[in-house]
């Protein structure tokens, strides 16, 4: 059975990513590695510094040595490090938001982004520049819902995040920057739900394509 290694920096990312793989690729065996220290060693501004590089390098080595066929990072804060991490493994190493931003640019000009940090906004703008497609991006950094989920209050997370999503009802595409946000999608009205992009489903689709499944 093909195995995929998932590297998580927060336990909040595990359920939506696991659910997406179980639903869309049940033939893939998952190996989850959770290291909450990955968030603790980021720089004060949330960027990846020497300590974070050292720690993620060691974590990727552990997953690589387990013999997986693909490594998926679920923490978008480490996405800028992925090109370097690819030098450490003989299998694909994927950032959780690569396909997310590319798909958003393909689907619409007016894009709303909700994220817990500003890296996804930078990635979206870079994807638009690569594609040569002009976009009108309205981005907000919003942590209140994420913090509620961290306290175990799922209903508050969904309510708070849902309100922010509804405020973007005039957008062609609404991008949710963190994998943990995907849980809110079933609570949205159908018309709005169709315009919301989340990373777990796209990550599974990419994994299947790269693994020829």
DSSP string, 56-118: HHHHHHHHHHTT-SEEEE--GGGGGGHHHHGGG-SS-EE-TTHHHHHHHHHH-SEEEEEESSS
pLDDT of residue 142: 87
Q: Are residues 145 and 119 in the same domain?
A: yes
Q: Are residues 34 and 90 in the same domain?
A: yes
For residue 133 the two structure tokens come to 């497609």
**Residue 111 forms beta bridges with which residues?**
137, 173
Cα 70 to Cα 105: distance, rounded to the nearest angstrom: 25
pLDDT in tens, 67-85: 999 999 999 889 989 999 9
Terminal-to-terminal C-alpha distance of the chain = 11
Is residue 36 classed as helix, strand or coil in its secondary structure? coil
Judge if 45 and 87 occupy the same domain.
Answer: yes
Kindly report the backbone phi and psi dihedral angles of residue 59, in degrees, each rounded to the nearest multiple of 5, phi listed first.
-65, -45
**pTM of the full structure:** 0.86
pLDDT averages per 10-residue partition of the chain, 213 residues: 92 91 94 94 88 96 95 91 94 91 92 88 90 92 88 91 93 92 91 91 92 90
- For residue 48, what are its two tokens? 């990846």
For 153, which DSSP code?
A: -
- For residues 76 and 86, state if they share a domain: yes
Cα distance between residue 100 and residue 96, in whole Å: 8
Q: Which residue has the tokens 């499944």?
A: 213
Residues 106 and 193 reside in one and the same domain: yes
- In a shared domain, residues 88 and 163: no
Burial environment of residue 172 by CB neighbours within 10 A (0 to 12, 13 to 18, 19 or more): middle
pLDDT at 38: 94
**In this predicted structure, what is the pLDDT of residue 165?**
94
**How many structural domains are present in the chain?**
2
Same domain as 153, residue 76: no
Residues 85 and 24 both lie in one domain: yes
Q: Are residues 106 and 145 in the same domain?
A: yes
Q: What is the pLDDT at residue 111? A: 95
Domain containing 62: what range? 3-96+201-210
Domain containing residue 14: CATH number: 3.40.50.1860
Provide φ and ψ at 182, rounded to 5°. -60, -25
Phi and psi torsions of 33, nearest 5°: -125, 115
Between CA 91 and CA 32 the distance in angstroms is 16
Q: Are residues 47 and 133 in the same domain?
A: no
Question: Are both 117 and 63 inside the same structural domain?
Answer: no
Looking at the structure, do residues 78 and 110 belong to the same domain, yes or no?
A: no
């Amino acid at each position: 059975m093909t195995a995929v290694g998932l590297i998580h920096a927060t336990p909040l990312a595990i359920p939506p990513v696991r659910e997406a793989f179980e639903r869309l690729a049940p033939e893939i065996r998952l190996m989850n590695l959770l290291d909450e220290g990955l968030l603790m060693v980021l720089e004060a501004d949330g960027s990846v510094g020497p300590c974070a590089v050292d720690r993620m390098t060691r974590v990727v080595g552990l997953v690589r040595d387990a013999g997986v066929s693909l490594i998926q990072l679920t923490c978008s804060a480490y996405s800028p490090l992925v090109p370097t991490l690819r030098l450490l493994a003989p299998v694909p190493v994927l950032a959780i938001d690569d396909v997310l931003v590319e798909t958003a640019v393909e689907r619409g000009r007016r894009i709303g982004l909700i994220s817990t940090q500003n890296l996804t906004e930078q990635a979206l703008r870079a994807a638009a520049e690569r594609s040569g497609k002009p976009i009108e991006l309205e981005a907000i950094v919003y942590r209140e819902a994420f913090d509620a989920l961290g306290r175990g209050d799922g209903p508050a997370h969904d309510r708070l995040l849902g309100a922010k999503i509804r405020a973007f009802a005039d957008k062609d595409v609404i991008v949710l920057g963190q994998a943990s946000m995907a849980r809110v999608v079933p609570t949205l009205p159908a018309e709005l739900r169709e315009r919301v992009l989340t990373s777990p489903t796209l990550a599974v689709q990419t994994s299947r394509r790269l693994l020829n499944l």
